[in-house]
């Protein structure tokens, strides 16, 4: 793959990490200030975003190791 494609994959990986952290921070705030029911969608979205981050990270590491 070319250098731009590697850079783009890395940028998308970082974006998923940032989105996951922000969603979990909002979920924590909603849990403390409100109820858990209000925070559940944020926890779910944060978990999904972090799953995407780790799956992309593992994929990138496997591709660069080969």
pLDDT tens digits, 2-24: 777 888 888 999 999 999 999 99
| Residue 1 domain flag | no
Tens-place pLDDT, residues 19-63: 999 999 999 999 999 889 999 999 999 999 999 999 999 988 888
Total tally of structural domains belonging to the chain: 1
pTM for the predicted model, two decimal places: 0.84
- Residue 66: its pLDDT value, please? 60
| Residue 44 domain flag | yes
Structural domain for 61, as ranges: 13-65
Handedness of CA 30, 31, 37, 41 (dihedral sign): positive
User: Interior CA angle at 20 toward 28 and 14, to 5°?
Assistant: 145
| Residue 6 domain flag | no
Handedness of CA 48, 51, 55, 60 (dihedral sign): positive
| Residue 4 domain flag | no
- Residue 20: its pLDDT value, please? 97
pLDDT at 1 over 70: no
């Amino acid at each position: 793959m070319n250098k731009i494609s590697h850079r783009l994959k890395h940028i998308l990986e970082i974006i998923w990490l940032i989105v996951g952290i922000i969603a979990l921070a909002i979920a924590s705030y909603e849990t403390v200030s409100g109820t858990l029911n209000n925070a559940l969608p944020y926890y779910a979205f944060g978990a999904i975003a972090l799953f995407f981050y780790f799956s992309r990270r593992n994929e990138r590491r496997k591709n660069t190791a080969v």
